[in-house]
Structure 1
Amino acid sequence: MKITSATPEDLSRLLNFREEAAEWISALGSDQWSRPYPADRLLATIESGTVFMLREGDRTAGTITLTPEAEEGLWSARELDEPSMFVNKLTVSRKYAGQNLGGRLLDWAGDRAYRAGAKWLRLDAWTTNERLQQYYLDQGFDHVRTVREGTAVNGGPRVSGWLAQRRTGHAEHGFLDETPRPEPLRA
């Protein structure tokens, strides 16, 4: 399997991929990702070079977004002073479930963040999705805190404020990495 940068041609594939994940999550009893993700926002992240695809031939096995920008209102000023990269939208196709591809994508992200000069790989998760929170704990992340106050971008209450982090470092993820070298983080 190989990791590549997403391209605008991947937009419909990624939107369908997210719908598949939302259906699976809903069957588990969570309302996470129950609202469709705006195509224009996804396209903007693709064009910024922060969306990556895990591919097996012409099939998409997974995707991850890795960015140096934190979602507003989650991390403290002191935390934001530490060099960090942030994981978003980690998704693995149900056809590839049970192969630890999510864990390996997190290892890849930690390795890429390390090569960019980040100390921390950070993420936020749905505050009510305890199964997902446990998954991240099992992947070596430490829970930092849960942010419930404030509002989400769309004006509703914050729902994704369970914060976790783990140190970055070199990792053997086993993927062929066809992405460009990461840009060094700005000090």
Structure 2
Amino acid sequence: MKITPAQPGDLPKLLAFREEAAAWLRGLGSDQWSRPYPADRLLATIEAGTVFMLRDHGGTAGTITLTTVAEDGLWTDDELGEPSLFINKLTVARTHAGQDIGGRLLDWAGDRAHRTGAAWLRLDAWTTNRGLQQYYLRHGFQHVRTVTEGGAVNGGPCVSGWLAQRPAQSTEHGFADETPAPDSSGLRAS
């Protein structure tokens, strides 16, 4: 399997991935990702070079977004002053479920964060999705806190405010990495 940057032509696949994941989550009783994600916002992240695809024999096994930009209102100013990369939209195709693809993508992200000079690999997860939170804890993340208000538009309830982090470190992930060398210019200095 190989990791490549997403291309604008991947937009339909990424939108389908999100819908597939939302349907699976609904089956588990979660409302996570129940609202359609705006295609124009997703295209903008693809064009910014922050979306990565895990390819497997011509198909797509998973995707992850890795950015230097945190969601508004979740992390403190001191935390934002520490060089960090943030994970978003980690999704594994149901055809590849049960193979720890997600864990290996997290390891790839941690390795990439390390190579940019980041101290932390961080994420915010759905506040009510306990299974997802446990998944991240099993993959070496430490819970920082849960933000329940103020992280959403207009200071309303925050649905994705379970915050976690793990140190960025060199990690073997087993994928062929066909992405450009990571750029540290967007990292904030502590």
Q: TM-score, normalised by structure 2?
A: 0.96
**Runs (5+) with no aligned partner, structure 1:** none
Q: Secondary structure at the match of 1:71?
A: coil
Q: How does 1:3-152 map to 2 (within 5 A)?
A: 3-152=3-152
1:55-94 alpha-carbon deviations (Å, 9 max, x no partner): 0122110000000110110000010111100000000001
1:83-118 alpha-carbon deviations (Å, 9 max, x no partner): 100000000001000100000000000000000010
What is the alpha-carbon distance in structure 2 between the residues aligned to residue 85 and residue 22 of structure 1? 25
Is the 2:32–2:126 contact (alpha carbons within 8 Å) kept by the matching residues of 1? yes
Structure 1 residue 156 displacement after superposition: 5.2
Q: TM-score, normalised by structure 1?
A: 0.97
What is the alpha-carbon distance in structure 2 between the residues aligned to residue 142 and residue 86 of structure 1? 14
Structure 1 residue 152 displacement after superposition: 2.0
Q: Secondary structure at the match of 1:88?
A: strand
Is the 2:151–2:161 contact (alpha carbons within 8 Å) kept by the matching residues of 1? no
What is the alpha-carbon distance in structure 2 between the residues aligned to residue 91 and residue 173 of structure 1? 16
What is the alpha-carbon distance in structure 2 between the residues aligned to residue 138 and residue 167 of structure 1? 14
Answering whether residue 179 of structure 2 is matched by residue 179 of structure 1, we say: yes
Cα distance, 1:155–1:149 mapped onto 2, change above 3 Å: closer
Q: Secondary structure at the match of 1:123?
A: strand
Is the 2:11–2:39 contact (alpha carbons within 8 Å) kept by the matching residues of 1? yes
> Over aligned residues, Cα RMSD in angstroms?
1.2
What is the alpha-carbon distance in structure 1 between the residues aligned to residue 164 and residue 68 of structure 2? 15
Structure 1 residue 150 displacement after superposition: 1.1
Give the AA of the match of 1:163.
L
* Percent sequence identity over aligned pairs: 74
Give the AA of the match of 1:131.
G
How many residues of Structure 1 are paired with residues of Structure 2 in the alignment? 187
Is the 2:82–2:188 contact (alpha carbons within 8 Å) kept by the matching residues of 1? no
1:128-182 alpha-carbon deviations (Å, 9 max, x no partner): 0000000000000000000011152487521000000000111100000000000
Is the 2:2–2:178 contact (alpha carbons within 8 Å) kept by the matching residues of 1? yes
**Runs (5+) with no aligned partner, structure 2:** none
